[in-house]
Amino acid sequence: MTGYDDMDGKIWMDGKLVEWRDAKVHILSHALHYASSVFEGERCYDGKVFLSRKHSERLLKSGELMEMPIPYSVDQIEEAKRAVLDANGLDNAYVRVVAFRGAGPDMGVSSARNPVRMAVAAWSWGDYYGDAKMKGAKLDIARWKRPSPETIPTAAKAAGLYMICTMSKHAAEAKGCSDAMFFDYRGYVAEATGANVFFVKDGDVHTPLPDAILNGLTRQTVIGMLKEKGITVHERYIEPSELEGFEQCWLTGSAAEVTPVGQIGEYTFEVGALTKDIATSYEKLVRS
């Protein structure tokens, strides 16, 4: 396939639509050197971006947490997303909104005088984990750990927080896995590289407490769906030793949607009835 820098279409940048290949930034953009960037990944289903405003609100919140005020309102971000989808003729797509510190008077760790820029792109994208939606993804266990919220703003969807995700996913793929699962700085089960994780045991659902990980919008949606179905959800600290006793497992995320997991390290899980039901219910919800 062609690279993402060499495609037909339009990208919204700093208030206007530009040709895809012309959507460029200067090599001295602060974000490239110091990771001063926040972003959102969203899915558009049948012309409607699922939880669109919540994503836009979270983008602004991420900017605040990074002390990087984004110069656009929620309404303006919503208009930009719609303009990109319409300009590219997309009804079903992945939408990426990114805000970052560009090039300016500062070129060091300090960057308060540099402008905060924003761009929106969208493209057709299939299942994030390929055929894992049918047979269950295989996950490695990452060598890195999710850091303490005392060291980074864990509630921000910030580019710098994904460095160990990229490294861990590359290591996992080299082993024939789809992804990797992290423990957190205390040693508890945390999340995958770009998705939250859920487990099933004796009919109840267990998921890590999001005090050191991103409380994903899809995660919140799925918890609400489970409770509506009368299923007990335990948001708690999960010890690694508990993995052996869980019967089912799935991942959630805007890109991952609801993806069954068949294996994490040496531990295996069935793609059971509850996993299939919540995946089907989520698919119906996003298209309702």
Q: Provide, rounded to the nearest whole percent, the portion of the chain with pLDDT above 90.
A: 96
On whether both 119 and 174 belong to a single domain, the answer is: no
Question: If we measure between CA atoms, which residue out of 67, 122, 118, 113 comes closest to residue 89?
Answer: 122
pLDDT given for residue 235 in this prediction: 98
When pLDDT is cut at 50, 70 and 90, the band that residue 62 belongs to is: very high
Q: In terms of domains, do 91 and 151 share one? A: no
Question: Which CATH number belongs to the domain containing residue 164 in this structure?
Answer: 3.20.10.10
CATH number where 110 lies? 3.30.470.10
Shared domain check, 137 and 114: no
Check whether residue 84 and residue 108 sit in a common domain.
yes
Q: Specify whether 108 is located in the same domain as 150.
A: no
* Domain span including residue 61: 10-123
Averaged pLDDT for residues 107-134:
91
Position 237 scores a pLDDT of 98
Indicate the number of domains in the chain.
2
Catalytic residues: 157
- Partners of 104 in beta bridges: none
Q: Do 116 and 195 fall within a single domain?
A: no
- What whole-number distance in Å separates Cα of residue 32 and Cα of residue 109? 12
Beta bridge partners of 265: none
Residue 86 has pLDDT above 80, yes or no: yes
Check whether residue 77 and residue 198 sit in a common domain: no
Domain boundary among 92, 123, 154: 123
Answer yes or no: is pLDDT of 149 > 90. yes
The answer as to whether 68 is a domain residue is yes
What whole-number distance in Å separates Cα of residue 251 and Cα of residue 253?
7
Same domain, 279 and 148: yes
Assign 215 a pLDDT band (cuts: 50, 70, 90).
Answer: very high
Average pLDDT over residues 67-79: 98
User: Global pTM?
Assistant: 0.96
189 and 163, same domain (yes or no): yes
Largest Cα–Cα distance of the chain, in whole Å? 59
Which pLDDT score, from 0 to 100, does residue 195 have?
A: 98
**pLDDT (average), residues 121-136:** 86
Has residue 61 got a pLDDT over 80? yes
Tell whether the model's pLDDT for residue 131 goes beyond 80: no
Q: What is the pLDDT of residue 251?
A: 98
Mean pLDDT of 22-26: 97
pLDDT value of residue 129? 86
Average pLDDT over residues 159-166: 97
- Residue-level pLDDT at 128: 87
Q: Are 18 and 11 in contact (CB under 8 A)?
A: yes
For residue 1, tell me if it sits in a domain.
no
**Does one domain contain both 152 and 280?**
yes
pLDDT at 281 over 70: yes
Residue 147 neighbours by CB under 8 Å, 6+ apart: 154, 184, 185, 212
- Whether residue 3 lies inside any domain: the answer is no
DSSP tally for the chain: helices H, then strands E: 7, 15
Structure tokens at 282: 């989520």
Is residue 2 in some structural domain? no
* Average pLDDT over the chain, rounded to an integer: 97
Q: Are residues 113 and 25 in the same domain?
A: yes
The predicted structure's pLDDT at residue 1:
62
Whether residue 177 is contained in a domain is answered as yes
Give me the pLDDT at residue 130, please. Answer: 80
